[in-house]
Each structure stands twice: as structure tokens, then as C-alpha cells.
Structure 1
Amino acid sequence: MSSRQVDLRAVGRDVQSHLGSERPSGAKRLLLLVSLAHLVSHVYILALPPLFPFLRDRLQVGFVELGLALTVFNVVSAVAQAPIGFLVDRIGARRVLAAGLGLGGLALLSIGLVGTYAWLLVGAALAGLANGAFHPADYALLSAGIPKAQMGRAFSLHTFAGYLGTAIAPAVLIGLALLGGPGLALGVVGLAGVLLVAFILPMRVPAAQGPADAGKQPADGGSPTGGTIFTPAIISLTVFFALLSFSNGAIQNFSVAALVSGYGITLTQANAALTAFLMLSAFGVLVGGFLADRTRRHGDVAAAAFALTALLTLLVAVGDLGALALTLALGAAGFLSGVIAPSRDMMVQAAAPPGGSGRAFGIVSTGFNVGGAAGPLLFGWILDHGEPRWIFGAAVGFMLLTVLMALRDRWAAGKGAAPAAPTR
């Protein structure tokens, strides 16, 4: 082989590396499909609650019985999430994601078709099992197929898609139910998820991590290379996720009741304040993605953003603000709480063992279920005892604990600051 041939091949490799060959388009397609799956998963989560008035009449049951279906969904999801994370790393994230989409869609479709209360509970259990697949599979696929320098933005777009699914679900479900009943609504949503499986199964996962990381993340998130998963970092992040769930759940689920009963504002004004919190959270996620790609100090970003969130929430808890000021304060708090989401996910990815993203995200995501199950009991007790301002006060307490956890993990990782990641 001549030196000229060697030189030409070297030049070809350089050009290919700069152009990225098919990686950029492959990574974009991967991000699009995984984000669509995340959007659909959030629609699955909220498929039943908007239909409760329709289902109550159709099934001839009360709201307590309907609420039991949500309890079944969440309990099954909480129990299933960590084992499914191990399954992701064993057989591949693409297969598990397709199975979750298909099972969730068929579960909702069957609830709409069968139309009995007993099957509502069975379908809710199946949908909960399917829900346990999304976070482990999604994050394993993104960790394997997205270039490292773009990971924060990819996580932020993925999270934003979930927020979008949450936002559109009530309008879509209620609109379809008004058009043709709850069976049509559940059938359309379920069928949409099943159809998406046809795009997920043939999806290629580009090996986008580069030579240094090629051995860490298998292309499909499967075939783990080993490594202990129950590390102090993973356990700490599980607690971190639970604290996030407590504080965000207080505002998302109980702020309207607290504002109406303790702040002298109308239901419309209280809903406007919550809407500002939720909408600006979604845009905060997008900004957080850019921050996450420009630093390796993800714990510092999370701690700083959530400390400011706590300060704004404390202002709501103790101040006598008018409706406009409350809306502005909660909107700003929502934006900052959204900023931390990509850094939070980057912290989990960094703590995952080689080939163990599915297990890591499966385990830490159970923290959300813990907060989602225990939080309502605490916040309901606060409201029942006539202390609506303590909804925000308790949220502040959990936020400060979250800040301490983030700083603790930062200090435990090493006293010196990590160098900033290169930008692109």
C-alpha cells in the first residue's frame, strides 16, 4: 500500500468525521422517535382522569372506584420500573420501548372496547406495567445514540415532549369523548401508540458516542458489560428524584386548592398561576438543555436553579401577593424548576455503570413514584388542617433538601470543580 493511498484514506476519514457521515440524521431520527414515544406515554398517563365523568356514567361506579384504577396504575408502574430497567440492559431498549408502547396502547384500547369496571382495573394494571418501560428504555436509547456534546439538549427535548403530551392530553381525550364517547377516545389514543410501534421496531440506533465511549453504551442499550448498579450515587439520585417529586407535586396538584382557600383569589386566577408554572417549566427544560451541554457541573446547575425556585416559592408561602404577582412568581419558579431537568438526567447518566443506563434510570425513576404516592397524603393532610400556605412551605422544605442533596453529591464526587465541557 502506497503512502499516497494511506494519505487519501486518512483524508477521507477526516472528512467523514467532520461531516458526521449518517450519524447526525440517525441521531435526529432517534431523538424524534423517542421523543414521540415519550409524548405518547404522557398521554397514556393522563388518558383516564379526563374521562372520569364519562366513565362514571358508563360503568355506573363512583369516583372512589375510578380513583382505584389510578392507584393500580401507579403501584404497578412503581414496582415494574426497576426490573424493566434491568430488562432494557439485557435484551435492548428498542424492543422494550416498542413493547411498552404496544402494551399501553392495547390496554387503553381494550378498556374502551370491553367497557366493564373489572376490566378497567385489569387494563389500568397493564397500562401501569407498560408505563414502567418508558424512562429506562428512552434514556438508554438516547445515551447510546446521541453524541455526547448534544446529550443535554437531547434530554431537554425528550422531557419537553413529555410536558407537551401532558398539556394536550385532557383536550384531546375530552374532545374525542364528546365526539364519540370514552370508547372512541381511548381507542384513538391506544391505536396511535400501537401504530408508532411500527416506526420504533425498525429504528436504527447510531453508535454516536465516539471511540472513547464505544464500550460504555451498547447501540441498542442492551448486553450490559457489567458493573454494580446499587451504588451510593444511584441510591442518592433516587432520593433526589423523590424529593423533586414531593416539591413539584405539591405545586402541580395542590396549589390551586391552596390558593383559592388561603389567598383570597378566584379559581380562574389560581388556574392561571398553575398554568404559568407548568408552561414555563416546559420552556425552562429547553434552556436547561443548552446549559447541560456547556458544563459538567450538573449538580451545581441543579442546586443553583432549585435554590432560586425555593426562594420564589417561599415568597409565595409568606407574602401577601396579588393574583398577578402570584402568577409571575409561580411562572418564574416553574421556569427554574424546568431548567434543572436535563442536568438531573445527565447526573444519572454519569452515575450509570457501563451498559447500565436502563437499570440506572429505571431505579432512580422509582423516586418519582415514591413522591407521587406519599406526597398527596401529606399535602391533603395539610389542607384538611386548614394550613393552605404550608403547601408552599412544605414545597420549599423539600426544595432545600433537594439542593443539599445536589451539593452533597457534588462534594462527594470531588472537592475541585470539573472542567467545562466543550461546546459545539
Structure 2
Amino acid sequence: MVDVLAAPQQAKTDASLRTLAAISTAHWVSHFHMLVLPMLFPFLKEQLGVGYIELGFALTVFAVISGLTQAPMGYLADHIGARKILLMGLTLGGFALIMLGLHLSYSWLIASAVLLGLANSVYHPADYAILSAHMDPARMGRAFSIHTFAGFLGGAVAPAIVAALVAMTGGHGALIVAGAVGPLVALLLIVVGIPDASAADRKVDGVHEPQQSIITPAIIVLTIFFMLLSLSNAGIGNFGVVALMSGYGESFSAANIALTVFLGASAVGVLAGGVLADHTRRHGQVAAACFAVNAAIMLAIATIALPSLLLLAAMGAAGFLGGVIAPSRDMLVRSAAPAGAAGRVFGIVSTGFNLGGIVSPLLFGWIMDQNSPRWVFGASVVFMILTVLLALVTDRGPQESFDEPDARLMQP
């Protein structure tokens, strides 16, 4: 009898694990594709004969399209199915890079940025809809954590993979091969048989959304906080390689290794930050402390000619601390959300990332065009200090609304 009862439960668990692995792989692709173009900036600059501000404009187009289409994609996920739009997003993003590799021109670069932005807007609405509908509620937090880690990992390995592809196939080949990853993963998801999620699947205990306004001062501050987080990291992620090459004399491969260390340490930091977030209520102080140390590290990178090994260590430490704050960041938003409105609140504050993504490519592209590569790190220091101040402000409000549920979830 025990075996008869256990078999369906084991099958359900296996299906959940397959779904989590498949959706996390798709999230890996999203972060990998986001960094393909920035990693190829030296190649694109030489081939297209444009400046960094023109290249940065392509990233701004990407961010604008992604920000404008995120809410409509959430609507489509509810009405035509999250599975369908996720498969379309993977395929569309791959198509954008493949076509750029086959028809390299500045107009195709902008067109590819538009298509990549549209594809990128698919992942969060579709991924979270499917995970929310099919993961065990008792393990939902860990499922989300693995999903986030997979995205960080995709960004972490992008520099090394793109550098290897350039070495083996050239810039055109790198674009085509990187693009092909999207349709291949879409095919994998079809073979695995990921489930769909409808609007009905996404209801929580049949509770309707509350009618009160959720645009509060705390939410506005958190939206600005997310924007500053984006600005703090975007310059390093998008222009770190070219800044290290032109301002620090690093080779293309060495600069890519440094960025890989930074992004890889960020992924590890996310997992460590999850443990830390479970053991404190002062999430704003955690975020502020990490970013204060981060600002000091970035200031050293910006002002001191560090030996290569010490530069790698500094980039790794900065990346780790940046990852640690991610769970605390999400807990700050969760604490500020009225009961039953967490989804909408996360949607609102996440627009801060889009705003940062719109501004940062133009800002840091302009910095590079002024032949001031060290200011890529120096400007990040300024944004980090502002982030520290805002993190302390967000920590002053009451945080008890979700503490008791968190305590219960921590029980074995």
C-alpha cells in the first residue's frame, strides 16, 4: 500500500524537477543572450565603424523594448499559455543573433536589439507562471532561487563562451552559434514536455487581488533602488571588457576572464545570500553593508593599477557581494508589498531595472568615447554609494508582515 501511494508522489516530484531544470535552462539562455552583443563590442566596433555610444544605443533599444513589452507578455502568458510564448521567445532571440551574424550591419544590429528585447520580455512572465503553477509550494522559494542562479550562471559563462567562439569561428560565427542555442533549448523543452500555465493555474487559494492602491512611497523608493542597482552593475557587465582592455592594458581574453570571475562570483553569492536572508530581518542593512564594501573595492579598481591576479580577486569579491544582496533585495520588496499584491509590486519595482538598462548603455558608452575607461568603474562607485543610502532608508519601515510565514517555511 505504501508503495502504491508513493509511486504517484514520486512521479509528481520527478515531473517538478524536470520542469524546474527545463525552465532554469531557458533562464540561462536569456542571460547568456543578453551579454552576447556586449561581449562582441570590440568586433562590432571594428566591423561596423561606429563608436561606443552607437553600440550603447543598441543596448538602450533592447532595454526599452524589453521594458515596454514585459506587461503585455504577462497578459499573453495568461491568455494563450506561458509555454507557447516561452518557446517563441527562445526561438526569436536565437533568430535575432543568427540573422545579425549572416547580415552584419548597423541597421541589423538595431533590428536584432529590438527582437532580442522582445524575446527577453518573455522569460520572467512565462517562467514564473509555469513555476508558480507546478512547483511544490513548500519548496517554491528554493525553486525560485535555482531559477535565479541559472540566470546568473548564464551571464557568468557568456564572456568565456563568446571569447572561445570568436577564437574558433570568428565574430560572425560566434553570433550564429550563440543564436542557435535558443532554438535548440526550445526543442529541448518540447522533448522534455514542460507543462503550461493558464490564468486559473496562477490563482493563489482563489484569493482575488486587493483593490487598494499599491503605489506607496516605499514602492517608489524601491523602484529607484532597483534602478540604482542596475546602474551600479550595468557599466561593468556591458563595458567592463572594453574598459579593462583600453584603460588597464588587459588582453581580450584576460578581460573576459576577469568579467567571468565577476559574474560567476555573483552567481555563487546569490546562493549564499539566500542563507543570509533567512537569518535576518534587516535586509536593508545587509544590502547597504555589501554595497558599501563593494564601492570601496570598485574605487580601488578605478584608481589603482592593480596586478592582474589582484584585479581578478577584486572583481571576484565585488561580484560575490553583488550576488549576496539579491535575496535581501527581494525580501525588501516582499516586506513592502500589501497582502495579496506581491506580484504587482515586484512588477512595478522591476521597472527600475528597465530604466537603468535604458540609461546605462548611453552613459557608459559616452564615458568610453571620452577615453575615460576607468570611469566605467568610477561611475559605478557613485551609483553604489547612492544605493547604500537608499537601502538604509528602505530598512526603516516595518517588516513584520511576512516574517511569521518565513519562520514557518524554515521549519523542517
* Bucket of the pairwise TM-score, normalised by the shorter protein: 0.7 to 0.9
2:294 aligns with one of 292, 304, 309:
309
Does the aligned pair in 1 maintain the 2:332–2:394 contact within 8 Å? Answer: no
**Residue in 2 aligned with 1:225?**
208
2:357 aligns with one of 372, 379, 387:
372
Structure 1 gaps of 5+ residues are: 1-7, 207-216
Residue 203 (1) aligns with residue 195 (2): yes
* Separation of aligned partners in 2, 1:398 and 1:198: 42
Residue 243 (1) aligns with residue 232 (2): no
**Residue in 1 aligned with 2:275?**
290
Deviates more, 1:34-43 or 1:68-77: 68-77
* Separation of aligned partners in 2, 1:27 and 1:75: 34
**Residue in 1 aligned with 2:122?**
133
SS at match of 1:160: helix
Does the aligned pair in 1 maintain the 2:56–2:362 contact within 8 Å? Answer: no
Does the aligned pair in 1 maintain the 2:235–2:360 contact within 8 Å? Answer: yes
SS at match of 2:209: coil
* Separation of aligned partners in 1, 2:237 and 2:39: 16
* Separation of aligned partners in 1, 2:278 and 2:74: 25
Does the aligned pair in 2 maintain the 1:152–1:293 contact within 8 Å? Answer: no
Residue type matched to 1:369 in 2? N
**Residue in 1 aligned with 2:324?**
339
Distance 1:104 1:88, change over 3 A: same
Residue 35 (1) aligns with residue 20 (2): no
* Separation of aligned partners in 1, 2:383 and 2:105: 40
Residue type matched to 1:40 in 2? V
SS at match of 1:203: coil
Tell me the alpha carbon deviations over residues 261-306 of structure 1, each in whole angstroms, 9 at most, x when there is no partner. 66x6644665554343222112112222333445555434333322
Residue type matched to 2:151 in 1? G
Does the aligned pair in 2 maintain the 1:248–1:395 contact within 8 Å? Answer: yes
Deviates more, 1:105-114 or 1:189-198: 105-114
Residue 394 (1) aligns with residue 394 (2): no
* Separation of aligned partners in 1, 2:317 and 2:175: 39
Deviates more, 1:327-336 or 1:80-89: 80-89
Residue 160 (1) aligns with residue 145 (2): no
Deviates more, 1:266-275 or 1:172-181: 172-181
Residue 189 (1) aligns with residue 174 (2): no
Residue 341 of structure 1 deviates from its aligned partner by 1.9
Distance 1:198 1:287, change over 3 A: same
Does the aligned pair in 1 maintain the 2:153–2:263 contact within 8 Å? Answer: no
* Separation of aligned partners in 1, 2:208 and 2:116: 31
Deviates more, 1:158-167 or 1:97-106: 97-106
Residue type matched to 1:335 in 2? F
* Separation of aligned partners in 2, 1:382 and 1:69: 16
Deviates more, 1:165-174 or 1:27-36: 165-174
Residue type matched to 2:396 in 1? W
Residue type matched to 2:209 in 1? G
**Residue in 1 aligned with 2:66?**
77
Does the aligned pair in 2 maintain the 1:104–1:193 contact within 8 Å? Answer: no
Residue type matched to 1:188 in 2? A
Tell me the alpha carbon deviations over residues 368-412 of structure 1, each in whole angstroms, 9 at most, x when there is no partner. 232223224434555566665544343223223223323322322
* Separation of aligned partners in 2, 1:266 and 1:171: 14
| Percent identity over paired residues | 51
* Separation of aligned partners in 1, 2:309 and 2:11: 50
SS at match of 1:413: coil
* Separation of aligned partners in 1, 2:77 and 2:363: 34
* Separation of aligned partners in 1, 2:228 and 2:152: 19
Does the aligned pair in 2 maintain the 1:293–1:423 contact within 8 Å? Answer: no
**Residue in 1 aligned with 2:261?**
276
* Separation of aligned partners in 2, 1:161 and 1:283: 10
Does the aligned pair in 2 maintain the 1:152–1:342 contact within 8 Å? Answer: no
Residue type matched to 2:19 in 1? L
Residue 132 of structure 1 deviates from its aligned partner by 0.9
Count of equivalent residues: 398
Residue 155 of structure 1 deviates from its aligned partner by 3.3
Residue type matched to 1:189 in 2? V
Residue 336 of structure 1 deviates from its aligned partner by 1.0
Distance 1:371 1:221, change over 3 A: farther
Does the aligned pair in 1 maintain the 2:267–2:323 contact within 8 Å? Answer: yes
* Separation of aligned partners in 1, 2:293 and 2:87: 39
Structure 2 gaps of 5+ residues are: none
Distance 1:113 1:330, change over 3 A: closer
SS at match of 2:265: helix
Tell me the alpha carbon deviations over residues 300-344 of structure 1, each in whole angstroms, 9 at most, x when there is no partner. 433332233223333444556444333322221211111122332
Does the aligned pair in 1 maintain the 2:244–2:373 contact within 8 Å? Answer: yes
Residue 38 of structure 1 deviates from its aligned partner by 0.4
What is the TM-score when the length of structure 1 is the normalising length? 0.73
* Separation of aligned partners in 1, 2:107 and 2:370: 35
* Separation of aligned partners in 1, 2:320 and 2:312: 12
* Separation of aligned partners in 2, 1:258 and 1:53: 11
* Separation of aligned partners in 2, 1:417 and 1:323: 45
Tell me the alpha carbon deviations over residues 51-78 of structure 1, each in whole angstroms, 9 at most, x when there is no partner. 6788899xx8544677765443332112
Distance 1:178 1:271, change over 3 A: closer
Does the aligned pair in 2 maintain the 1:176–1:185 contact within 8 Å? Answer: no
Task: Output the aligned Cα RMSD.
Answer: 4.5
Distance 1:118 1:380, change over 3 A: closer
